[in-house]
Amino acid sequence: METRRIGSLTVSAVGLGCNNFGMRVDYPQSESIVHAALDAGVTLFDTADVYGGTESERFLGRALAGRRQGAVIATKFGERVDDRRHGANPAYVRQAVEDSLGRLGVDRIDLYQLHLPDPATPIADTLGALDDLVRAGKVREIGCSNFSVAQLREAQVVVPHGGARFVSVQNEYSVLNREPEREVLAECGREGLAFIPYFPLASGLLTGKYKLGVPAPAGTRLSQAWAANRFLTEDRLTTVEALGRFAVSRGHSLLQLAMSWLLRRREVTSVIAGATTPEQVRANVEAADAWQLTDGELADVDKIAPV
């Protein structure tokens, strides 16, 4: 598989999002998914302390035991684990990393990411604590998630000379949600930041399993009423069907379009698609290599799903 760079890290162009572990899939299934990913050439595994009520990190660590060589572990902190564990103040940063190291069963995290900005803590204080972790060898690289251009710039300005700085930003991005193209992707290009899109398949909308006028399949992510009302809107499904017709007209699938379209962006480092079965992992990996979109095809997509 093609590899790309996140700071000093070399990662596969397709990663595995582990947000389903401990929530939608149990440990045996999580292990089978991780092993399928490794066998398919995936090296980047992205999780967070809050996923699965902290079980995702435990599941990932267990599944990688004995196969840690070559695997790049990315996790996050800052979201609310409980009333005491949340935010990005230095004391909590130190606690959060120890908690994650313990759950993962490792002595170093490859990419440690601030899950979201903490308005109660100056970013300089957070970066100082993260720099301490890098110097202590507990973290290799640091990144952020859900940051705006203004927040990225502030974080770059306050880093002291020689201090650890964010090497990546992880924001929502897909052919259905092109917000990063307004500012963040350009900032990544200017500053050499790796961009990691989450929800690259728009919570499953871009897999082709959801159809206009047809109830969501039972057991899927969007089968619950609140999720369907939020995500399965008529305009989004109409766009999805148009994208699907376009892909088929070129001899490809909607999934292949969704994955290949993202990897056509030079700022995108790794597409971290989630999975609930080994088959989904293999399909995501195969889809990424299936279609090298031309400039003309990109322009056609822009007409169907504009920024």
**Residue pointed to by tokens 């999720």:** 227
**Residue 32 near residue 280, CB atoms below 8 Å:** no
User: With respect to CATH, is domain 3-204+256-295 assigned 3.20.20.100?
Assistant: yes
Helices (H), 115-233: 123-135, 149-158, 184-191, 225-231
Helix (H) or strand (E) holding 244: helix 234-249
Give tens-digit pLDDT for 182-227.
Answer: 999 999 999 999 999 999 999 889 998 888 778 777 777 777 766 6
**Residue pointed to by tokens 């949340």:** 86
In angstroms, the CA 222 to CA 69 distance is: 35
pTM of structure = 0.94
Q: What are the C-alpha distances in Å from 184 to residues 79, 145, 267?
A: 22, 11, 10
Q: Which amino acid, one-letter code, is at 256?
A: Q
Query: What are the structure tokens assigned to 176, written together?
Result: 């259905």
Strands (E), the chain: 3-6, 9-12, 14-17, 44-46, 72-77, 109-114, 139-145, 166-172, 194-198, 271-274
Each residue's pLDDT, cut to its tens digit, for the chain (307 residues) gives 899 999 999 999 999 999 999 999 999 999 999 999 999 999 999 999 999 999 999 999 999 998 888 899 999 999 999 999 999 999 999 999 999 999 999 999 999 999 999 999 999 999 999 999 999 999 999 999 999 999 999 999 999 889 999 999 999 999 999 999 999 999 999 999 999 999 999 988 999 888 877 877 777 777 776 666 777 888 899 999 999 999 999 999 999 999 999 999 999 999 999 999 999 999 999 999 999 999 999 999 999 999 8
In angstroms, the CA 24 to CA 274 distance is: 11
CB under 8 Å to 77, separation ≥6 — which residues?
A: 48, 49, 88, 92, 93, 96, 97, 100, 112, 113, 114, 115
Determine the distance from the C-alpha atom of residue 73 to the mean position of all C-alpha atoms in its chain, rounded to a whole number. 12
In the annotation, is 51 catalytic? Answer: yes
Query: What are the structure tokens assigned to 166, written together?
Result: 């964010």
In angstroms, the CA 113 to CA 213 distance is: 39
Active-site choice (27, 51, 198, 210): 51
Nearest CA-CA partner of 59 in 31, 37, 39, 35: 31
Q: At what angle do helices 123-135 and 90-104 cross, to 10 degrees?
A: 40
